[in-house]
Chain A
Amino acid sequence: MSDEFTLKVWRGDKSGGQEVEYHVPAETGMVVLDALHHIQHNQAPDLAVRWNCKAAHCGSCGAEVNGQPKLLCKTRMDDYAGETVSVRPMQTFPVIKDLVTDVSWNYQVAKEIPLLEPTSPAPFKMQQIDADRVQEFHRCIECFLCQDTCHVLRNHEGQQKYFGPRFMAKIAEFEMHPMDGEDRIPLLAHQAGLNMCNVTKCCTEVCPQHIRITDNAIIPLKERVADRYYDPIKILLRRLGGKKGEPGKANTPVAN
């Protein structure tokens, strides 16, 4: 290992900025956040970087390391041995300063998702096998790296059309909860914009919690929407029955 690391850190605010080069002494097992702290404590006290736990539990320190969305506290400097490490803010969100971005849009979206509506009061009787299915989504630390990488949000500015992968996992968490009685399928089909996702799995790839967002949340939710709205037999039955408006939840399987 060489004695020092070289980093290029994006410095600036909404009026603009550029990469600034820093050198920090190398230490065994150092993560990118350690290097940034060294810069902050000794060279640039006003360097803005969000962080809380430094243990990959809180999801505050998402940024782009050599172009890849990463948690700074979990990304080792020695993964880039011999390279200059470039650290930039998440591109999908408006920058506030340096590595800190305005992620408030995500908190607005979160308010749109109806909570669990239990079909009976707690304590619930629930088997581990049923819990397993939703517990995967509960591992989410809301780092928003999936939102950052989702091309609908990143390249097509689809914030008005699509809630993004984080919130597909959140909706799945409630929809697949064995005790839930709420119906979020119309929300998915319309306002949440589930159809915007074309299943490229980029969100799954960057998830630091290894949640299989596309396979286990988005695709099953797409199936539920398709069952509800596009099943030809059901459409026919609805027509024969003369029903109008929104198809009811009773038509959808509870689990698949």
Chain B
Amino acid sequence: MAHETYETHEYDIIVIGAGGSGLRAAVEASQVPGLKVAVITKSLLGKAHTVMAEGGVAASFGNLDAPDGWETHFYDTMRSGHFINNYRMAEIFAKEAPDRVLELESWGAVFDRTQEGRIMQRPFGAHSFRRLCHIGDHTGLELIRTMQYKAIHSGIDVFQEVTMTKLLVHNGRVAGAFGYFREDGRFVLFRARAVVLATGGWGKIFKVTSNSWESTGDGAALAFRAGANLMDMEMVQFHPTGMVWPPGVRGILVTEGVRGEGGLLYNSEGERFMQKYDPERMELSSRDVVARSIFKEAQAGRGTPHGGAWLDISHKGPEYVKAKLPGMYEQFLTLADLDITKERFEVAPTCHYTMGGLRVDPETCATNLPGLFAAGEVACGLHGANRLGGNSLSDLLVFGRRAGMGASEYVNGGDGFAPIDDSELQQEMDRVLEPFHREDGVNPYHVHERLQEIMTNHAGIMRSGPVLEEGLNKLLELKEEARNMGINGSRIYNPGWHAVFDVENMILLCEGIIRSALERKESRGAHWRTDFPDELPEWQKINFVESYDEGKIRIRTEPVNEMPENLAKLFTYGKAPGLAKQAGGKES
């Protein structure tokens, strides 16, 4: 093979991923005088998956419901996470979310307003109060665009359309990252004293998914191979309402805001079936419950023509629907020839979010690998077994900022650049170019499709021991086959080539998911085992933590940290703290 070359860039901190958390981390780090910061993204700036968030950003301002406060937001987050969350992350999160939202406002985000001219907040599933600050149904777009413009005015260098293939480690410390520019396939080394991973989740492991092309878990896989620990990998969220028909749009998100604004769910018999599953919260129950209920109704033969449920918002009138849900109105009109202001429409669960990810320190977002930090969907701990709608966007801001601070402090207190081993890079370049030389290579797109099929059939919304086992065997076979992925064409912007690495990353994480799902022998939050249908108290005390060792995934349990008394007390009122306060502190 010809001798390959690479270009080198040096930064104090590189942030991989340019969604909400990556940009927030970079902005924070850039405010430390003297630090050189870069953001590296595999897409164009401003296109990251954050843009897909619709309903809102959760922060307990109490602009409409005065009794709301951080305690109740904390309570709702822990309760929906079924108590395997890291309580300290949830506490930091609930306390800091409002300040992060106000920061966005001062940087140019324009939220919908209340009568009094304050930030409007809408109700959402399993939030005790109206809590989601929003701009129509495109809140994620508002967040990313605001952060994007803030970032490009903060002296941060941005490298767009770069595939990172390896995280470099020297003597147990992060040394940088290696990859190539998609534009022409030239290799690039980023030397860094600290790396922040903000690469999002891996929702593309399922065929029916609300996730964009990017969600292939690159950061989690790179870090895992480099020695970082993953946690709660079994926890994958299915959003209750994805589009169903026509086939090309299957899985595209229908915001929870539709139910937040008054949308009602019906089965094929015209029954509001949520009555049976959660009579108190009905359509605004937590996502795990609503997704499972729709799935069960369809299984029982009460589904819609294409196997979902009916969602109806037409009773709110065209003017209201168009004002509050303009994106949804447009999406159905263009893609499904359907006017949601007049007609009900079909929805079914769609893969939406990965609660599992890199295990991090709540204060600094540091992973177990010195110099490596993680924030946003790639990190784990805040959401436990089920994420609340609207908590993702505030997660990005709160922990993006903390990761930026954590990395800056680490760099200021630490050593210089770790050395780079050139022979390791030569090997990596050979490996990355190998798919071009496999003339009878397997098509990476087809491997991806088969991976999605395995995950859907064996590790989806409904799981059981034997089915998971069978899935694991199929996955391990596919993993072998995938070693032979090959492509043709040149190195200039070649999506087939890029797909090879996406697929490798997803296969690794899928194995982590199935192994973890086999271990958790109970049902909790998003993890539903038909052979262990109950939530069992002893399993509430543990998280499953995975490490990667000589090509093998090792799995161990770690105790869930116990809450201190002042926080534990919040769960003793028999209702949310804010509601208890409202009732004059009386217990019910």
A236 contacts partner chain B, Cβ-Cβ < 8 Å: no
Distance A116 CA – B142 CA, assembled complex (angstroms): 14
Chain A residue numbers with a CB within 8 Å of B51 are 52-53, 57-58, 141
Per-position binary interface string of chain B over residues 164-202, scored 1 when its CB falls under 8 Å from any chain A CB and 0 otherwise: 000000000000000000010000000000000000000
B474 contacts partner chain A, Cβ-Cβ < 8 Å: no
Contact A123 B489 (CB under 8 A): no
A190 contacts partner chain B, Cβ-Cβ < 8 Å: no
Distance A42 CA – B120 CA, assembled complex (angstroms): 48
Contact A56 B331 (CB under 8 A): yes
B510 contacts partner chain A, Cβ-Cβ < 8 Å: no
* Of B113, B247, B494, the contact of A126 (CB 8 Å cutoff): B113
Interface of A is mostly: loop
Contact A52 B253 (CB under 8 A): no
Distance A123 CA – B104 CA, assembled complex (angstroms): 10
**Known interface pairs A60-B44, A96-B183, A125-B117. Does A111 touch B153 (Cβ–Cβ under 8 Å)?**
yes
Which residues of chain A in 156-170 are interfacial with respect to chain B, using CB atoms and an 8 Å cutoff? none
Task: Give the one of A27, A56, A58, A141 with max B CB within 10 A.
Answer: A58
**Known interface pairs A41-B445, A135-B135, A138-B142. Does A13 touch B47 (Cβ–Cβ under 8 Å)?**
no
**Known interface pairs A46-B494, A128-B113. Does A28 touch B246 (Cβ–Cβ under 8 Å)?**
yes
Distance A100 CA – B492 CA, assembled complex (angstroms): 11
Contact A45 B212 (CB under 8 A): no
Contact B488 A174 (CB under 8 A): no
Distance A102 CA – B499 CA, assembled complex (angstroms): 21
* Of B105, B112, B120, B494, the contact of A48 (CB 8 Å cutoff): B494
Per-position binary interface string of chain B over residues 104-140, scored 1 when its CB falls under 8 Å from any chain A CB and 0 otherwise: 0111101111001111100000000000000110101
Contact A29 B249 (CB under 8 A): yes
Contact A74 B107 (CB under 8 A): no
Chain A residue numbers with a CB within 8 Å of B509 are none
Distance A76 CA – B103 CA, assembled complex (angstroms): 40
Contact B493 A29 (CB under 8 A): no
B46 contacts partner chain A, Cβ-Cβ < 8 Å: yes
Distance A59 CA – B102 CA, assembled complex (angstroms): 27
* Of A28, A55, A142, the contact of B331 (CB 8 Å cutoff): A55
Chain B residue numbers with a CB within 8 Å of A34 are 248
Contact B335 A74 (CB under 8 A): yes
Contact A52 B247 (CB under 8 A): no
A139 contacts partner chain B, Cβ-Cβ < 8 Å: yes
* Of A54, A60, A115, A140, the contact of B150 (CB 8 Å cutoff): A115
Per-position binary interface string of chain B over residues 206-220, scored 1 when its CB falls under 8 Å from any chain A CB and 0 otherwise: 000000111000000
Distance A28 CA – B444 CA, assembled complex (angstroms): 26
Chain A residue numbers with a CB within 8 Å of B493 are 48, 96-98, 100
Distance A213 CA – B104 CA, assembled complex (angstroms): 24
Contact A27 B246 (CB under 8 A): yes
* Of A45, A60, A110, A123, the contact of B444 (CB 8 Å cutoff): A45
B563 contacts partner chain A, Cβ-Cβ < 8 Å: no
A124 contacts partner chain B, Cβ-Cβ < 8 Å: yes
Chain A residue numbers with a CB within 8 Å of B113 are 126-128, 131
Per-position binary interface string of chain B over residues 136-162, scored 1 when its CB falls under 8 Å from any chain A CB and 0 otherwise: 101011100100011011000010100
Task: Give the one of A28, A40, A52, A122 with max B CB within 10 A.
Answer: A52
**Known interface pairs A45-B496, A74-B334, A122-B102. Does A103 touch B108 (Cβ–Cβ under 8 Å)?**
no
Contact B110 A134 (CB under 8 A): yes
Per-position binary interface string of chain A over residues 34-76, scored 1 when its CB falls under 8 Å from any chain B CB and 0 otherwise: 1000001110011111111111111110000000000000101
Task: Give A203 Cβ to nearest chain B Cβ, in Å.
Answer: 18
Chain A residue numbers with a CB within 8 Å of B253 are 55
Which residues of chain B in 229-253 are interfacial with respect to chain A, using CB atoms and an 8 Å cutoff? 245-249, 252-253
Contact A96 B492 (CB under 8 A): yes
Q: Give the number of residues in A that approach B within 8 Å (Cβ atoms).
A: 61
Per-position binary interface string of chain B over residues 243-270, scored 1 when its CB falls under 8 Å from any chain A CB and 0 otherwise: 0011111001100000000000000000
Task: Give the one of B335, B446, B497 with max A CB within 10 A.
Answer: B335
Chain A residue numbers with a CB within 8 Å of B111 are 131
Contact B494 A52 (CB under 8 A): no
Task: Give B133 Cβ to nearest chain A Cβ, in Å.
Answer: 11
Chain A residue numbers with a CB within 8 Å of B79 are none
Q: How large is the interface on B (under 10, 10 to 19, 20 to 34, 35 or more residues)?
A: 35 or more
Distance A192 CA – B337 CA, assembled complex (angstroms): 40
Distance A57 CA – B48 CA, assembled complex (angstroms): 10
Chain A residue numbers with a CB within 8 Å of B48 are 52
Chain B residue numbers with a CB within 8 Å of A131 are 110-113
A197 contacts partner chain B, Cβ-Cβ < 8 Å: no
A121 contacts partner chain B, Cβ-Cβ < 8 Å: yes
Chain B residue numbers with a CB within 8 Å of A107 are 45, 152, 158, 160
B553 contacts partner chain A, Cβ-Cβ < 8 Å: no
B378 contacts partner chain A, Cβ-Cβ < 8 Å: no
**Known interface pairs A50-B44, A52-B214. Does A122 touch B105 (Cβ–Cβ under 8 Å)?**
yes
B487 contacts partner chain A, Cβ-Cβ < 8 Å: yes
Contact A41 B446 (CB under 8 A): yes
Contact B145 A46 (CB under 8 A): no
Distance A54 CA – B446 CA, assembled complex (angstroms): 19
A30 contacts partner chain B, Cβ-Cβ < 8 Å: yes
A177 contacts partner chain B, Cβ-Cβ < 8 Å: yes
* Of B141, B488, B492, the contact of A45 (CB 8 Å cutoff): B488
B43 contacts partner chain A, Cβ-Cβ < 8 Å: yes
Distance A135 CA – B324 CA, assembled complex (angstroms): 12
A118 contacts partner chain B, Cβ-Cβ < 8 Å: yes
Distance A113 CA – B152 CA, assembled complex (angstroms): 10
Contact A46 B496 (CB under 8 A): yes
B495 contacts partner chain A, Cβ-Cβ < 8 Å: yes
B73 contacts partner chain A, Cβ-Cβ < 8 Å: no
Contact A135 B110 (CB under 8 A): yes
Task: Give A125 Cβ to nearest chain B Cβ, in Å.
Answer: 4
Per-position binary interface string of chain A over residues 211-230, scored 1 when its CB falls under 8 Å from any chain B CB and 0 otherwise: 00000000000000000000
Task: Give A118 Cβ to nearest chain B Cβ, in Å.
Answer: 5
A189 contacts partner chain B, Cβ-Cβ < 8 Å: no
Distance A151 CA – B246 CA, assembled complex (angstroms): 37
Contact B327 A57 (CB under 8 A): yes
Distance A48 CA – B117 CA, assembled complex (angstroms): 47
Chain A residue numbers with a CB within 8 Å of B145 are 138, 140, 142
A235 contacts partner chain B, Cβ-Cβ < 8 Å: no
Distance A193 CA – B4 CA, assembled complex (angstroms): 45
* Of B141, B152, B496, the contact of A57 (CB 8 Å cutoff): B141
Contact A55 B52 (CB under 8 A): yes
Chain A residue numbers with a CB within 8 Å of B118 are 123, 125
User: Would you mind naming 11 contact pairs between A and B with Cβ atoms under 8 Å apart?
Assistant: A31-B335, A42-B445, A52-B212, A59-B47, A74-B335, A100-B493, A125-B118, A131-B113, A135-B110, A138-B142, A141-B51
4 tightest Cβ-Cβ pairs between the two chains A and B: A29-B246, A46-B489, A45-B496, A41-B445
User: With contacts A52-B49, A127-B113 known, what are 18 further pairs, Cβ within 8 A?
Assistant: A29-B247, A29-B336, A30-B246, A31-B248, A40-B496, A45-B444, A52-B43, A57-B141, A98-B493, A107-B45, A111-B153, A123-B105, A123-B118, A125-B118, A126-B117, A134-B110, A138-B145, A177-B110
Which A residues contact B (CB, under 8 angstroms)?
13, 27-31, 34, 40-42, 45-60, 74, 76, 96-98, 100, 102-104, 107, 110-111, 113, 115-116, 118, 121-128, 131, 134-135, 138-142, 173-174, 177
